[in-house]
């Protein structure tokens, strides 16, 4: 094991292979990271990036291969071994205990503060202070984790990792849940930290890769297909290597649309789960054949907006009119029959029933309609044909339509939902974070389908945090802040800067 | 007035078993394991509490240390059953609810069988008596209610702040809370999730066994197979009622025992009331009613409760 103070000047992986039942997650991977280097590890979902990092952390054991630190072979059997070597990881799903304070969460990993009868919280507090000051990472040690925003939680994760003595950082998709501002701040911070530490970070977002890393490695199907210096390659080259083909995210280039109003919301007031006003007299309208983007930092009422349109949440004031009829506080079934489709935020829990098969999930909204059902019996043959047809058209990659939907990757689950919602021929679609956590290939496909839907004259309400997604697809972009629409911009007026400022709550740029 | 004092005195005395068992169950649940088998462990503990003094001297008086050995025997049998439950639900990842019901039947079954083969029929033992604390017990009203009990009753109440301290202040308690709320986080910090859960189950089992032994040695001074009469299940309910906090669990234990004592005293004072089954039922209905109206705030509870941990399972 390494001495506490030793810098990690070199970490080398040689021929790492790891199999899961039925999957070759890592296929003979060799990588090397030197002093103060930042290596970006990119690849599609399921390419084996997270598995590889979990092997370095001692959470998984490789089937074969070895790991060397500063030229010496190490055997990492548990996370403790990795900590002892000075390796720390910020996982994609934050590894924090929500009902404990920041202080306690950090104390959980700091063995030197575990006195026999008591946790020495003062020691932890001092260590946090030291780390916070050194790296400019402010955290409130006495806050409970559940009280913190996602961005703050990530800062706690970073502080935790540093407090535990990490001199080598692994970050698994650190920006996937952050707002654009938080992402920018994180990149600045990591750049500063990389002067003293080596960093491996996993990302889908190629701009970040370009901004932060000096080396890049691309994984596909568990194998390294490319390694090189970031500066020598353009982001489109990297995208092509990552997916195996040229990727160009589709853009909406059509002129602003002039259709009739499909959905009109007036003075909508809705309470959040915690009882405060999540939507406060919000008004907006979407035309047929128009994509209206809703930009905003999550938690500003997006969830409540989507749920009140789809009938999943009671409203306390105002009206929602779809095609001339008021639909607020009607049952979800009524609203579905009224022609409103929904791609929900939580695809695993709200979008599908994970334990049911793909074909069952596909007919979930119409299982009692005469199309799929006669005299209370399901028309199994027809359903199978129908599902098979959708599987091909929507390129759902799965062993078969009888596979449990929950066993698919995120991108394929989203395609199942998309197939169901689009093929029901909705008159209007509510679409929430459709490509969150998906890789480029899947994102490209979903964007294409949304644009096709628009072209066929369907109005779409697109809620997203990804500014590129909004600017590529929307005809108009409305910025939501604290439950109200700050301002609605036409696509031609929307820039990252103007949206970012509105999202931060500033209505008029001149105020800055 | 006498009636009131009697009810309150007995409430304090009889709440001890329930209190010890539910504090034990709190450790189980804080670590993420839901042990419905508490009833069975208590029954086994109660039997041990009978067996040890009885095999020493039958119904005759025995030295104090033999009774103490009885309590320890109950505690030890609880540890064994707790660890056995751990083997099933932690190592083999069996569904906890079903396994718990099985453990309850197992505990009651073994205790009942052993009782019939070693002891035969209902026998009484001398047990540990209550005594009056000098001076304090002389205080009018209060003295009688609080200071005329068995030493174990005081120990049970001392366990409340102790359990609170252990769960909230010590490194072990912190680890128990972590594995019960986000086992993945604990695992990523190098904490052995399953080991902590086994330890918590042993602790909870020990306390349930002790509570059972208390029932035979200090309260009933005899044993039969339905001596626990649902206290183990009430203990599980009280942990929910108490939101996994020792002080609130104590409040629940007192409330339930109060209702229980009140109804038995009514039966004694009004023997003409025919429907005693109805009165027997009331304290349990109270528990259901209180659970139904007390809103659960899951933010501070163990959110991984009932879920087995498997590091290589992808979620």
Q: Which residue has the tokens 């039925």?
A: A22
Question: Is A147 at the interface with chain B, CB within 8 A?
Answer: no
d(CA A151, CA A174): 10
What tens-digit pLDDT sequence spans chain A (512 residues)?
Answer: 344 456 778 889 999 998 877 678 888 999 999 888 899 998 877 778 888 998 999 988 999 999 999 888 999 988 889 988 899 999 888 899 999 999 999 999 998 889 888 999 999 999 999 999 888 888 899 999 988 877 888 889 999 999 998 889 999 888 877 777 778 888 888 888 888 889 998 987 788 888 888 899 998 888 888 888 888 888 888 888 877 776 677 888 888 777 889 999 999 999 987 778 889 999 999 999 999 999 988 788 999 999 999 999 999 999 999 999 999 999 999 999 999 999 998 888 889 998 899 999 999 998 888 889 888 889 999 999 999 999 999 988 888 899 888 888 788 899 999 999 999 999 999 999 998 878 788 888 999 999 999 999 999 999 998 888 999 999 999 999 989 999 999 988 888 888 888 887 777 655 55
- Determine whether the interchain pair A99/B300 forms a contact, defined as Cβ–Cβ distance below 8 Å: yes
B265 within a domain of the structure (yes/no): yes
Smallest Cα distance from A117 to chain B, Å: 5
Which residues constitute the domain of residue B175?
A: 2-300
The pLDDT value recorded for residue A4 is: 47
Question: Is B303 at the interface with chain A, CB within 8 A?
Answer: yes
The pLDDT value recorded for residue B37 is: 95
Q: Nearest chain A Cα to B189, which residue? A: A109
Query: What class is the A2-243 domain?
Result: alpha beta
Interface probe, candidates B31, B170, B176, B189, chain A, greatest A C-beta count within 10 A: B189
H-helix or E-strand containing A122? Answer: helix A121-135
Find out whether B39 and B209 touch, Cβ atoms under 8 Å. Answer: no
- Which regions of A364-468 does DSSP assign to beta strands (E)? 373-374, 377-378, 428-432, 459-464
Q: What is the DSSP letter of B134?
A: T
- Taking the CB of residue A272, how many other CB atoms lie within 10 A of it? 15
In chain B, the largest separation of any two C-alpha atoms, in whole Å, equals 64
Smallest Cα distance from A298 to chain B, Å: 20
The pLDDT value recorded for residue A441 is: 82
- Taking the CB of residue B278, how many other CB atoms lie within 10 A of it? 11
Question: What residues in B contact A90, CB-CB < 8 Å?
Answer: none
Smallest Cα distance from A479 to chain B, Å: 31
d(CA A458, CA A475): 13
d(CA A424, CA A401): 18
d(CA A468, CA A413): 23
- Determine whether the interchain pair A79/B189 forms a contact, defined as Cβ–Cβ distance below 8 Å: yes
d(CA A143, CA B40): 41
Nearest-CA neighbor of A484 among A302, A290, A263, A261?
A: A302
Nearest-CA neighbor of B111 among B134, B80, B87?
A: B80
- Determine whether the interchain pair A79/B170 forms a contact, defined as Cβ–Cβ distance below 8 Å: no
- Determine whether the interchain pair A100/B177 forms a contact, defined as Cβ–Cβ distance below 8 Å: yes
Q: What is the secondary structure of A24-77 as a DSSP string?
A: EEEEEEEEEEETT-EEEEEE-TTSSHHHHHHHHTTSS--SEEEEEETTEEE---
Smallest Cα distance from A77 to chain B, Å: 10
- Secondary structure of residue B284 in the 3-state scheme: helix
H-helix or E-strand containing A263? Answer: strand A261-271
The closest CB to that of A117, out of B170, B299, B303, belongs to: B170
Q: What SS3 string covers A173-223?
A: CCCCCCCHHHHHHHHHHHHHHCCCCEEEEEECCHHHHHHHCCEEEEEECCE
Name the token pair of A452. 């096709």
Question: Is A60 at the interface with chain B, CB within 8 A?
Answer: yes
Asked if domains A2-243 and A261-339+426-511 share a fold, the reply is yes
Calculate the dihedral angle through the C-alpha atoms of A486, A491, A492, A494, rounding to the nearest 10 degrees.
40
- Determine whether the interchain pair A96/B181 forms a contact, defined as Cβ–Cβ distance below 8 Å: no
CATH of the domain at B136: 1.10.3470
Averages of pLDDT over each 10 residues, chain B, 315 residues: 89 94 97 95 96 88 91 96 96 93 95 91 85 87 88 94 96 96 92 96 97 94 90 92 93 94 89 85 87 70 84 60
Q: Nearest chain B Cα to A90, which residue? A: B188
The pLDDT value recorded for residue B299 is: 64
H-helix or E-strand containing A264? Answer: strand A261-271
Question: What residues in A contact B31, CB-CB < 8 Å?
Answer: none
Smallest Cα distance from B314 to chain A, Å: 10
Report how many domains make up chain B.
1
The pLDDT value recorded for residue A2 is: 40
B314 within a domain of the structure (yes/no): no
Find out whether A150 and A178 touch, Cβ atoms under 8 Å. Answer: yes
Question: What residues in B contact A100, CB-CB < 8 Å?
Answer: 174, 177-178, 181
Q: Tell me: domain A261-339+426-511, CATH 3.40.50.300, correct?
A: yes
End-to-end CA distance of chain A: 52
Name the token pair of A372. 């799929």
Phi, psi for A257 (deg, rounded to 5): -95, 155
Find out whether A48 and A25 touch, Cβ atoms under 8 Å. Answer: yes
Task: Compute the count of residue pairs across chains A and B with CB atoms less than 8 Å apart.
Answer: 73
Q: Cβ neighbours of residue A369 under 8 Å, at least 6 residues apart?
A: none
Smallest Cα distance from B292 to chain A, Å: 20
d(CA A278, CA A426): 27
């Amino acid at each position: 094991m390494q001495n506490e103070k030793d810098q990690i000047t070199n970490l080398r992986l040689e021929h790492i292979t790891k199999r899961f039942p039925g999957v070759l997650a890592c296929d003979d991977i060799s990588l090397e990271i030197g002093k103060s280097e930042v290596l970006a590890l990119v690849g599609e979902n399921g390419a084996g990036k997270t598995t590889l990092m979990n092997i370095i952390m001692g959470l998984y054991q490789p089937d074969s291969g070895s790991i060397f630190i500063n030229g010496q072979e190490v055997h990492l059997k548990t996370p403790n071994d990795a900590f002892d070597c000075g390796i720390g990881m910020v996982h994609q799903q934050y590894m924090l205990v929500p009902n404990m304070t920041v202080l306690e969460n950090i104390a959980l990993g700091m063995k030197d503060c575990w006195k026999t009868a008591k946790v020495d919280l003062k020691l932890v507090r001092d260590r946090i202070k030291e780390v916070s000051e050194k790296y400019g990472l402010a955290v409130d040690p006495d806050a409970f984790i559940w009280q913190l925003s996602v961005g703050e939680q990530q800062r706690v994760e970073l502080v935790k990792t540093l407090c535990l003595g990490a001199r080598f950082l692994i970050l698994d998709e650190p920006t996937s849940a952050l707002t654009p501002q938080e992402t920018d701040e994180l990149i600045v911070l990591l750049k500063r930290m990389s002067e003293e530490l080596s960093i491996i970070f996993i990302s889908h977002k190629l701009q970040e890769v370009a901004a932060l890393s000096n080396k890049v490695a691309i994984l596909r199907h568990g194998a390294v297909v490319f390694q090189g210096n970031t500066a020598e390659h353009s982001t489109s080259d990297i995208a092509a290597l990552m997916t195996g083909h040229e990727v160009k995210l589709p853009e909406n280039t059509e002129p602003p649309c002039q259709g009739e109003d499909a959905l009109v919301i007036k003075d909508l007031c809705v309470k959040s789960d915690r009882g405060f006003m999540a939507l406060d007299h919000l008004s907006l309208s979407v035309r047929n054949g128009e994509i209206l983007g809703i930009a905003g930092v999550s938690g500003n009422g997006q969830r409540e907006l989507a749920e009140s349109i789809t009938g999943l949440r009671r409203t306390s004031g105002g009206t929602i009119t779809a095609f001339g009829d008021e639909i607020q506080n009607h049952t979800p079934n009524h609203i579905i029959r009224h022609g409103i489709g929904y791609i929900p935020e939580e695809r695993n829990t709200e979008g599908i029933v994970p334990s049911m098969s793909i074909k069952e999930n596909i007919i979930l909204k119409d299982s009692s309609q005469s199309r799929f059902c006669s005299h209370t019996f399901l028309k199994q043959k027809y359903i199978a044909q129908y599902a098979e047809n959708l599987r091909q058209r929507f390129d759902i990659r799965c062993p078969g339509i009888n596979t449990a939907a929950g066993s698919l990757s995120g991108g394929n689950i989203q395609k199942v939902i998309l197939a169901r919602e689009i093929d029901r021929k909705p008159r209007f679609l509510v679409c929430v974070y459709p490509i969150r956590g998906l890789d480029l290939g899947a994102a490209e496909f979903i964007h294409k389908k949304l644009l096709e839907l628009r072209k066929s004259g369907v109005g779409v309400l697109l809620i997203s945090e990804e500014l590129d997604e909004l600017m590529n697809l929307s005809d108009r972009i409305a910025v939501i802040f604290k439950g109200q629409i700050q301002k609605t911009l036409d696509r031609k007026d929307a820039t990252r800067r103007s949206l970012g400022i509105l999202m931060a709550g500033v209505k008029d740029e001149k105020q800055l | 007035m006498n009636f009131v004092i009697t009810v309150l005195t007995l409430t304090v005395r009889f709440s001890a078993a329930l209190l010890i068992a539910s504090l034990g169950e709190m450790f189980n649940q804080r670590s993420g394991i839901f042990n419905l088998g508490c009833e069975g462990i208590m029954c086994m503990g109660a039997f041990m509490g009978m067996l040890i003094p009885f095999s020493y001297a039958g119904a005759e008086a025995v030295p104090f240390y033999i009774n103490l050995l009885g309590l320890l025997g109950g505690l030890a049998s609880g540890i064994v059953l707790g660890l056995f439950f751990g083997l099933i639900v932690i190592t083999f990842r069996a569904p906890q609810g079903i396994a718990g019901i099985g453990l309850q039947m197992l505990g009651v079954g073994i205790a009942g069988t052993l009782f019939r083969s070693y002891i035969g029929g209902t026998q009484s033992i001398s047990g540990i008596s209550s005594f009056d604390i000098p001076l304090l017990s002389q205080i009018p009203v209060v003295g009688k209610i609080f200071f005329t009990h068995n030493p174990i009753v005081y120990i049970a109440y001392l366990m409340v702040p102790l359990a609170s301290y252990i769960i909230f202040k010590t490194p072990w308690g912190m680890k128990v809370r972590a594995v019960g709320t986000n086992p993945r986080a604990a695992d990523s910090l190098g904490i052995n999730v399953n080991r902590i859960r086994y330890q918590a189950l042993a602790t909870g089992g020990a306390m349930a066994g002790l509570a059972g032994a208390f029932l035979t040695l200090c309260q009933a001074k005899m044993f039969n197979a339905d001596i626990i009469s649902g206290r183990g299940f009430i203990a599980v309910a009280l942990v929910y009622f108490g939101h996994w906090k020792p002080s609130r669990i104590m409040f629940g234990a007192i409330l339930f025992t109060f209702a229980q004592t009140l109804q038995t005293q009514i039966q004694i004072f009004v023997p003409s009331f025919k429907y005693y089954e109805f009165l027997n039922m009331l304290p349990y209905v109270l528990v259901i009613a209180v659970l139904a109206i007390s809103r659960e705030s899951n933010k501070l509870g163990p959110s991984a409760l009932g879920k087995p941990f498997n590091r290589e399972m992808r979620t």
